[in-house]
Amino acid sequence: MQFLILATDGTDGDAPSRRSRARDEHRALISKLKDSGNFKLGGHTLDANETIIGSAVIVDFPSREELDAYLRIEPYVVQSVWEEIKITRINLG
- pLDDT given for residue 63 in this prediction: 97
Provide the Cα torsion 29, 63, 60, 18; round to 10°.
-40
Confidence (pTM)? 0.93
Distance (Å, rounded) from C-alpha 68 to C-alpha 74? 10
Please tell me the distance from the alpha carbon of residue 41 to that of residue 39, in angstroms, as a whole number. 6
Which domains are delineated in the chain?
Answer: 2-90 (3.30.70.1060)
Low-confidence ranges of the chain (pLDDT < 70): none
**Size of the chain in residues:** 93
In contact, 22 and 79? CB cutoff 8 Å: yes
| pLDDT of res. 93 | 78
